[in-house]
């Protein structure tokens, strides 16, 4: 049994749903109350990114920079040099999509505790289409030295993650989703940067998810149970630093891994796990996510199904993977 | 540091800094010559006269800030910092070498006294604006100033104009930017590569107070900084006209010296030019 406190209604049809970005908005307001050095900067998307909650509470600590993402993060770098803890927000496609070099040089190499908040990530952005559905942000941020990369699984965790990165003193990226998504954690669930959590114990396969995909893996585990497969579900809300110990411990037990993310599997979470396994525990791996292609317009649920990112659409692929691939035994 | 050296002493210090630039570049075997020589009078006057700083206490909480946005001009910043007392001049010979604090382009985390990491062009002005915003609106420390230097080729970058709009909107009056207007960039003349004129009009239209000065006249630099500090409702930009390679006549105006260091012979010749002010001083061992 896992001691992680799951929302008891996580598998119910009427599970409470809320956008992950809303949890960020709440978290930033709480962090702002605790530390007056926290400032917020936005590039003309203050309500979309939910930064308005902070703006309305602390108008004197909010800076509107206009549609200028390069300036957004570099002004923030300067404010950090002057002792502030700046949170910068936009859509992930624009920040860190457009201003990667500025983040690399003036925040990571310069080692400034600027927080990059990328909202509207993944295909679940929906009708806006491929231009706005950021899929490459995990790869872009994960390769930067000094950068911390966090992908909360639901709005409750997003609130905790926001407060945590406000206090970590490091350059940090937090990835948010637009749509309402099911809440699977509880107020009492733990969150610590760099930690992965076993949500359900099992012995036949590890299902490792990040962001909103973890909920789909919880549902998938129940479906697999019906066919006699005992799956372990691992929630990995921090992509960097990756909780290698927790992942390896799970994989050594189950001998097979599925990763799931709403991002490009190349360089993303699946990529990170592939790097880890190939060096330290070469168990068979099946990566679920976007496979070298862009999204497109559509209803969010329709798109998640189309791209095989729901429990139902993952099931046949995961079942086939289990049927074909034997469990890895350490010492082969 | 303010006001302790005479004009003549500052001119002599600028000449010394030019020699240090030549020596460090020759020792490094790579790096940029023209821009640093051109900016020597400006950085000398900033570090030794204008800025309120304590080189032995680089993070002094009351200091003025300096942001070098065109990081390839690091040799002049290092030489001016050494002259000001941030570190010993002997360290200038380690420029660009393995293990040195004097990285090829400035890295804040490597050397106390640097306020930013720079090299990729266009982002130093925004960082300076971020500090200026903090001093003006958040910490309300109106007696502190933020100085920045940019290249002119660097003004091709969109990030610069995003920062210009931002500083104009918020009337960041503690921000003073010097543009090293030397009219060259790597591929040739700025007006051929990507025309900047009407440069004054551009900045004025973004809400800035604009001055134009001779960037090799120490008094003009001092006066421009005083005027900029006196302007309380706008950010200030000083279009600082300079000669690339200034002080070494065979390097002046020649853009091939943009990214080239002098070899041993050229360095000896350059030092002789600097000692004799390009042959104007005759005598001694010349």
Predicted pLDDT of residue B281: 83
Q: What is the largest CA-CA distance in chain B?
A: 58
- Top residue of B66, B69, B127, B159 to mutate, by most chain A CBs within 10 Å, is B127
**Nearest CA to CA, how far is B250 from chain A (Å)?**
35
Alpha-helical runs (H) found in B121-213: 124-133, 158-169, 190-193, 199-205
Predicted pLDDT of residue A33: 98
Q: Report B:152-171 residues touching A (Cβ under 8 A).
A: 158-159, 162-163, 165-166, 169
User: What is the token pair recorded at A202?
Assistant: 């099992």
Segments in chain A below pLDDT 50: none
Please give the Cα distance from B102 to A140 (Å, whole number): 29
Q: What's the mean per-residue pLDDT of chain B?
A: 96
Topology of the domain covering B7-275: Rossmann fold (3.40.50)
Please give the Cα distance from B102 to B95 (Å, whole number): 5
Put simply, the answer to whether B159 touches A106 (Cβ < 8 Å) is no
- Closest CA in chain B for residue A70: B159
Predicted pLDDT of residue A332: 54
pTM score above 0.90: yes
Please give the Cα distance from B217 to B7 (Å, whole number): 9
- Residue B284 in this model has a pLDDT that exceeds 60: no
Closest CA to B179 of B245, B239, B246, B241: B239
Catalytic residue from among A57, A64, A69, A305: A69
Q: Enumerate domains of chain A plus CATH numbers.
A: 17-182 (3.40.50.970), 197-324 (3.40.50.920)
**Nearest CA to CA, how far is B17 from chain A (Å)?**
27
Predicted pLDDT of residue B286: 47
Please give the Cα distance from A75 to A87 (Å, whole number): 11
Task: Write out pLDDT tens, residues B139-183.
Answer: 999 999 999 999 999 999 999 999 999 999 999 999 999 999 999
Residue A22: other Cβ atoms inside 10 A: 16
For chain B, what is the radius of gyration of the CA atoms? 18
User: In the structure, what pLDDT confidence band is assigned to residue B270 with cuts at 50, 70 and 90?
Assistant: very high
A69 flagged as catalytic: yes
Predicted pLDDT of residue B3: 62
Give the rounded distance of the alpha carbon of A53 from its chain centre. Answer: 21
Please give the Cα distance from A77 to B128 (Å, whole number): 9
User: In the structure, what pLDDT confidence band is assigned to residue B283 with cuts at 50, 70 and 90?
Assistant: low
- Residue B282 in this model has a pLDDT that exceeds 80: no
Look up the ipTM and state it. Answer: 0.94
User: What is the token pair recorded at A322?
Assistant: 């289990």
Put simply, the answer to whether A74 touches B163 (Cβ < 8 Å) is yes
Closest CA to B173 of B203, B200, B133, B140: B133
Q: Please check whether residue B150 touches A, CB under 8 A.
A: no
Predicted pLDDT of residue B273: 94
- Top residue of A60, A78, A144 to mutate, by most chain B CBs within 10 Å, is A78
Give the rounded distance of the alpha carbon of A163 from its chain centre. Answer: 15
Nearest CB partner across the interface for B127, out of A63, A78, A84: A78
């Amino acid at each position: 049994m896992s001691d992680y406190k799951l929302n008891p209604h996580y598998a119910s049809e009427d599970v409470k749903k809320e956008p992950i970005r809303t949890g960020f908005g709440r978290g930033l307001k709480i962090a702002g109350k605790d530390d007056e050095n926290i400032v917020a900067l936005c590039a003309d998307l203050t309500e979309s990114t939910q930064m308005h909650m902070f703006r309305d509470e602390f108008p004197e600590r909010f800076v509107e920079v206009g549609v200028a993402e390069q300036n957004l993060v570099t002004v923030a770098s300067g404010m950090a040099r002057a002792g502030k803890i700046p949170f910068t927000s936009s859509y992930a496609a624009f920040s860190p999509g457009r201003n990667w070099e500025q983040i690399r040089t003036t925040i990571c190499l310069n080692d400034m505790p600027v927080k990059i908040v990328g909202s509207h990530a993944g295909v679940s952005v929906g009708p806006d289409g491929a231009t706005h559905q950021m899929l490459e942000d995990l790869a872009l941020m994960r390769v930067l030295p000094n950068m911390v990369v966090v992908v909360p699984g639901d709005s409750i965790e997003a609130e905790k993650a926001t407060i945590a990165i406000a206090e970590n003193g490091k350059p940090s990226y937090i990835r948010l989703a637009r749509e309402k998504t099911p809440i699977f954690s509880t107020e009492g669930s733990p969150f610590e940067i760099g930690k992965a959590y076993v949500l359900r114990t099992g012995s036949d396969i590890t299902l490792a998810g990040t962001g909103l995909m973890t909920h789909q893996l919880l549902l998938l585990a129940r479906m697999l149970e019906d066919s006699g497969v005992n799956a372990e579900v691992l929630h990995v809300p921090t992509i960097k630093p990756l909780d290698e110990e927790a992942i390896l411990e799970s994989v050594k037990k189950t001998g097979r891994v599925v990763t799931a993310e709403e991002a490009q599997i190349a360089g993303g979470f699946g990529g990170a796990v592939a790097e880890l396994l190939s060096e330290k525990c070469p168990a068979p791996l099946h990566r679920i996510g976007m496979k070298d292609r862009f999204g497109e317009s559509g209803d969010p649920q329709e798109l998640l199904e189309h791209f095989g990112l729901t429990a139902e659409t993952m099931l046949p692929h995961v079942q086939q993977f289990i049927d074909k691939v034997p469990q890895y035994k350490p010492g082969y | 540091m303010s006001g302790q050296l005479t004009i003549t002493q500052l001119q002599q210090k600028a000449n010394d800094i030019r020699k240090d630039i030549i020596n460090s570049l020759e020792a490094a075997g790579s790096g940029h010559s023209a821009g640093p020589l051109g900016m020597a009078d400006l950085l000398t006057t900033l570090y030794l006269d204008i800025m309120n700083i304590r080189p032995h206490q680089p993070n002094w909480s009351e200091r003025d800030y300096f942001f070098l946005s065109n990081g390839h001009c690091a040799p002049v910043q290092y030489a001016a910092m050494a002259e000001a007392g941030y570190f010993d001049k002997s360290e200038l010979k380690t420029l660009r070498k393995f293990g040195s604090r004097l990285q090829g382009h400035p890295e804040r985390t490597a050397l106390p006294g640097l306020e930013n990491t720079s090299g990729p062009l266009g982002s130093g002005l925004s960082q300076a604006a971020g500090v200026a915003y903090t001093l003006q609106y958040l910490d309300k420390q109106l007696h502190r100033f933020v100085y920045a230097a940019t290249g002119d080729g660097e003004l091709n970058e969109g990030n610069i104009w995003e920062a210009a709009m931002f500083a104009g909107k918020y009337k960041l009056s503690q921000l003073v930017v010097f543009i090293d207007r030397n009219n060259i960039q790597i591929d040739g003349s700025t007006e051929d590569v990507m025309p900047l004129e009407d440069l004054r009009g551009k900045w004025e239209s973004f809400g800035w107070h604009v001055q134009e000065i001779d960037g090799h006249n120490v008094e003009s630099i001092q006066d421009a900084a005083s005027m900029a500090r006196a302007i309380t409702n706008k950010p200030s930009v000083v279009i600082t006209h300079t000669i690339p390679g200034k002080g070494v006549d065979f390097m002046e105006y020649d853009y091939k010296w943009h990214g080239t260091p002098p070899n041993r012979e050229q360095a000896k010749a350059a030092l002789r030019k600097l000692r004799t002010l390009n042959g104007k001083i005759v005598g001694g061992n010349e």
